[in-house]
Structure 1
Amino acid sequence: MGEPETAPASRPAPLAERSDEQPPAVAIVMSSRSEMPVMEKAAQELEERGIAFEVKVLPAHHDPDAVRDYARNARERGLRVIIAGSSYSATLPAMIAANTDLPVIGVPISGPHSIAGGFDGLAAIAQMPPGMPVAAVGVNQAINAAVLATRILHA
């Protein structure tokens, strides 16, 4: 199990990956590259707002150690909010929330692995165990996750 995947090279590097910009304040993570079309909307919204971010693919079911390490070291790297997309059972947002004290925003994604069109993920995100809060936005609403992250940063 190697390094977590980064955003595909087909689109310009996010602000956080440009050396002349500020370090990322927000992380956008997803379990699979197939979730990129939904999650890149959060990246676009943050970029329009001038907020530095990073994008990572962290396969929670296939490399849980990488997810744990990423979440545990997020604050040290300067991150302040994590947006986590999930097209299945909300495993990624849950694992991130269990391993950091940063705010985590879960984006349920409808997709081929979603049993109920993304509403299964929404229910899972909304029903996290006590002490592991994850904010939930609507199905495929990555833009709202970016807006909420912005509000958290400016609170």
Structure 2
Amino acid sequence: MICIIMGSESDLKIAEKGVNILKEFGVDFEVRVASAHRTPELVEDIVKNSDAKIFITIAGLAAHLPGVVAALTTKPVIAVPVESKLDGIDALLSCVQMPPGIPTATVGIDRGDNAAILAIEMLAISNEELSKKLDEFREKQRKKVIKSDETVRNLFS
């Protein structure tokens, strides 16, 4: 199971990208809203009582949520920085700059979909069914690019 924690409801569009991927792969998930600054006790309650194997955190502005979650668990934490101010670079830097011993994996700005894929890849290490689904997913991506290449070549030939 994957637990997605958003810093606020305004992050819902980013979370939905990940939720759609998790649904496509048939992975169980829960989505929560908790602020590292305004509701730290809720963040702790969610992390301590979740059955999740991996946490995806979505954070903009101060972007402390990934680090707080990582400090509360030894399970993997994937950070999704959100574009807000400074084109999201401030959130990106906050997400990747963790102190020694409290790592988070960070995907690109607003890439809730890539966070979900990374979480699925982690689960697939010990799940052959998910591993096969990932192979099929990658093959669909490959075929889509090949088709695009053919379309563009035909357009200009």
Q: For this structure pair, what is the TM-score category when the shorter chain's length is used for normalisation?
A: 0.7 to 0.9
Asked if residue 43 in structure 1 is aligned to residue 19 in structure 2, the reply is yes
Distance (whole Å) between structure 1 residues aligned to residue 93 and residue 70 of structure 2? 16
Deviations 1:46-105 (A, max 9, x none): 00110010000012211111111211223xxx2100000001122111110000111000
Deviations 1:16-70 (A, max 9, x none): xxxxxxxxx0011101000101111100110011001000001221111111121
The runs of at least 4 consecutive aligned structure 1 residues that moved more than 3 Å come to none
- Partner of 1:28, secondary structure, is strand
Q: TM-score, normalised by structure 1?
A: 0.78
Percent identity among equivalent residues? 39
Which structure 2 residues correspond to residues 1-150 of structure 1 after superposition, within 5 A? 25-74=1-50, 78-111=51-84, 115-150=85-120
Q: TM-score, normalised by structure 2?
A: 0.77
RMSD: 0.9
Distance (whole Å) between structure 2 residues aligned to residue 95 and residue 124 of structure 1? 12
Where in structure 1 are there 5+ consecutive unaligned residues?
Answer: 1-24
Q: Which amino acid aligns with 1:63?
A: T
Distance (whole Å) between structure 2 residues aligned to residue 121 and residue 147 of structure 1? 21
Where in structure 2 are there 5+ consecutive unaligned residues?
Answer: 126-157
Larger radius of gyration: 2
Q: Which amino acid aligns with 1:82?
A: F
- Partner of 2:41, secondary structure, is helix
For 1:11, the equivalent position in structure 2 comes to none
Q: Counting helix residues as a fraction of each chain, which structure ranks higher? A: 2
Shift of 1:124: 1.2
Q: Which amino acid aligns with 1:109?
A: V
